[in-house]
């Protein structure tokens, strides 16, 4: 199934806002219904594909079948940009300025290499495309003119499973739910469950350094990766042949987070773990965000660490975003801040960690809310993007951004980003509601995930661009990283350049010149285009 072309996910799961929420948006934020209905797919004016006949023939030969070079309007629209709110607003207005000339469907590593050779010969930029879930402009190259989208959906197999070493080798186009199903047949799980889980792919997880909602227990995706194979215009790069090595710098780290700018990931070997016997999620309430953050830090540093550990601030708790399926249901939301702690594993291990973590949470001022809030979070954790679509339909603007820093800087970073968003959007005449939660924890720090809701105003994309730039400046000034798990794309690129520094960027440019001499791979993504 393809994702909804002008929204998120499965069209059959689209939701609508309760009248109570619509009224709240109107009264609190001045949200008004859009003046015009979004365009239908068949009404989008897509220009004829500009692929030269010689290039078309060469690509068909590389893929073994002309059917795997798709140039129809619908397929090209479905591969235009990603799923950020600006992306959706643009496509809903019929803006196809970033539409690919063709969509290519390779079946394996050799076909990817062949396609890259053809594209180099014909000067065609290439945008690798997995689940299409990028929210940072990672699928719209900066270079003007014709480009092709390389859709990896046919590369969707479990290539190898080693139950003794507990490793699995997966192709990049494998969507996360299918990967979990294939591993479960052998009694294993990857344990990687980001909010994009239902649609994102293995290759995308690696290319963006994804982090799942159970990262406290299973780790980030980049921590799971043991080896990768990368297809480049200059040939094949194989990285990683042992769990750990002292044989020079770890080349895996050049590929992880490279967002298709250095090559196309064609296989990933990851560590897997046994499917847990028990899963238990529970809610806790804290009087303040600061007290809740202290509790999370204690568990992250001294243990026992839950598998899932997250904390909503007062505003997010009040609105109910910690339990998206409860918004507008009439269910009273707690005052203070809601935390969710989840435990997965054997019954004995789960019971031990839950009991001893509860002692720490209570000591830090937490009050147990029982399992219902935890279950509601688990049941609704993939529904927030559908809620975003409903808010857009109602005339609201909603977007997210995230960052991370060391524990000692969390309070300053939290205040700086919230203040920057509030001030900028208020000045634009669209005062916002700014919510935040700690979504991932580490021994030395944590990530902050912000959700912003406001009226769309006269030019929602321009309003958000100014606000996002202000937030990015605040992040760097407060010592945060420009992205914890969304990636760089084009939206964060200029701030990433500053974060990495001139010498660091020059080193990455040297790598790109060696692997992609013509600069055709995702130009303008991660690094400025030449």
Mean pLDDT of the chain: 95
Half-sphere exposure of 523 (CA within 13 A, CB side): 20
449 is catalytic: yes
In which residue are the tokens 């499973």 written? 161
Residue 439 among known ligand-binding residues: no
What CA–CA distance (Å, rounded) separates 228 from 158? Answer: 14
| pLDDT of 326 strictly over 60 | no
Backbone torsions φ then ψ of 470, nearest 5 degrees: -65, -40
Domains of the chain, CATH where assigned: 39-151 (3.30.43.10), 158-274 (3.30.465.10), 278-379 (3.30.70.3450), 384-487 (3.30.300.330)
Could you check whether the bond before residue 304 is cis, i.e. omega within 30 degrees of 0? yes
Give the model's pLDDT for residue 530: 77
Residue 221 among known ligand-binding residues: no
| pLDDT of 138 strictly over 60 | yes
Residue 498 among known ligand-binding residues: no
- pLDDT tens string 390-405: 999 999 999 999 999 9
Residue 210 among known ligand-binding residues: yes
- pLDDT tens string 27-80: 999 999 988 888 999 999 999 989 999 999 999 999 999 999 999 999 999 999
Residue 398 among known ligand-binding residues: no
- pLDDT tens string 365-395: 999 999 999 999 999 999 999 999 999 999 9
Locate 465 and state its tokens: 């661009």
Q: Containing H/E element for 409?
A: none
What CA–CA distance (Å, rounded) separates 347 from 344? Answer: 8
Residue 172 among known ligand-binding residues: no
Considering 281, 343, 386, 449, which one is annotated as catalytic?
449
What CA–CA distance (Å, rounded) separates 49 from 65? Answer: 18
Residue 129 among known ligand-binding residues: yes
Higher pLDDT, 140 or 418: 418
Residue 134 among known ligand-binding residues: yes
- pLDDT tens string 66-101: 999 999 999 999 999 999 999 999 999 999 999 999
Indicate yes or no: pTM above 0.85: yes
CB 125 within 8 A of CB 520: yes
Residue 211 among known ligand-binding residues: yes
Nearest to 259 by CA among 213, 220, 302, 205: 205
Residue 262 among known ligand-binding residues: yes
Looking at residues 507-528, what average pLDDT do you find?
Answer: 97
Residue 395 among known ligand-binding residues: no
Locate 502 and state its tokens: 């001139």
């Amino acid at each position: 199934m393809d994702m909804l072309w002008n929204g998120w996910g499965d069209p059959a799961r689209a939701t609508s806002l309760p009248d109570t929420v619509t009224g709240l948006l109107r009264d609190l934020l001045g949200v008004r219904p859009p003046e015009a209905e979004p365009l239908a797919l068949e009404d989008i004016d897509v220009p004829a594909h500009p692929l030269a006949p010689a290039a078309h023939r060469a690509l068909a030969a590389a893929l073994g079948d002309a059917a795997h070079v798709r140039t129809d309007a619908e397929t090209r629209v479905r591969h235009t940009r990603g799923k950020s709110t600006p992306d959706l607003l643009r496509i809903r207005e019929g803006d196809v300025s970033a539409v690919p000339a063709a969509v290519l469907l390779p079946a394996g590593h050799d076909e990817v290499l062949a396609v890259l050779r053809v594209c180099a010969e014909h000067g065609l930029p290439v945008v690798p495309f997995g689940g299409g879930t990028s929210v940072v402009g990672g699928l719209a190259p900066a270079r003007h003119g014709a480009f092709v989208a390389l859709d990896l959906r046919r590369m969707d197999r479990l290539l190898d499973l080693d139950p003794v070493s507990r490793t699995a080798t997966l192709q990049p186009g494998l969507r996360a739910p299918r990967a979990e199903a294939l591993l479960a047949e052998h009694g294993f799980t990857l344990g990687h469950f980001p909010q994009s889980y239902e649609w994102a792919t293995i290759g995308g997880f690696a290319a963006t350094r994804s982090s799942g909602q159970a990262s406290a227990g299973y780790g980030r995706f980049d921590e799971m990766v043991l080896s990768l194979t990368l297809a480049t215009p200059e040939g094949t790069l194989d990285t990683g042949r042992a769990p750990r090595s002292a044989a020079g710098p770890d080349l895996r780290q050049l590929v992880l987070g490279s967002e298709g700018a250095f090559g196309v990931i064609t296989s990933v070997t990851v560590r897997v773990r046994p499917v847990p016997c028990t899963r238990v999620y529970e809610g806790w309430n804290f009087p303040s965000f600061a007290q809740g953050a202290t509790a999370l830090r204690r568990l992250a540093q001294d243990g026992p660490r839950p598998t899932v550990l997250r904390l909503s601030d007062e505003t997010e708790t009040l609105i109910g975003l910690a339990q998206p399926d409860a918004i507008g249901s009439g269910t009273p939301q707690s005052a203070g801040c809601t935390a969710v702690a989840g435990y997965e594993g054997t019954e004995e291990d789960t019971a031990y960690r839950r009991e001893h973590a509860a002692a720490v949470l209570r000591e830090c001022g937490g009050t147990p809310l029982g399992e219902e809030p935890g279950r509601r979070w688990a049941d609704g954790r993939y529904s927030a993007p559908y809620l975003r679509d409903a808010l857009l339909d109602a005339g609201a603007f909603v977007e997210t951004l995230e960052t991370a820093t060391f524990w000692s800087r969390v309070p300053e970073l939290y205040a700086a980003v919230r203040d920057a968003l509030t001030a900028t959007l208020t000045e634009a005449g669209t005062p916002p509601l700014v919510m935040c939660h700690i979504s991932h924890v580490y021994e030395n720090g944590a990530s902050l995930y912000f959700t912003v809701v406001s009226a769309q105003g006269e030019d929602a994309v321009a309003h958000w661009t100014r606000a996002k730039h202000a937030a990015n400046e605040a992040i760097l000034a407060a010592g945060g990283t420009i992205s914890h798990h969304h990636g760089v794309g084009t939206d964060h690129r200029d701030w990433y350049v500053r974060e990495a520094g001139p010498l660091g960027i020059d080193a990455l440019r040297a790598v790109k010149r060696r692997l992609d001499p013509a600069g055709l791979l995702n130009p303008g993504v991660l690094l400025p285009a030449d």
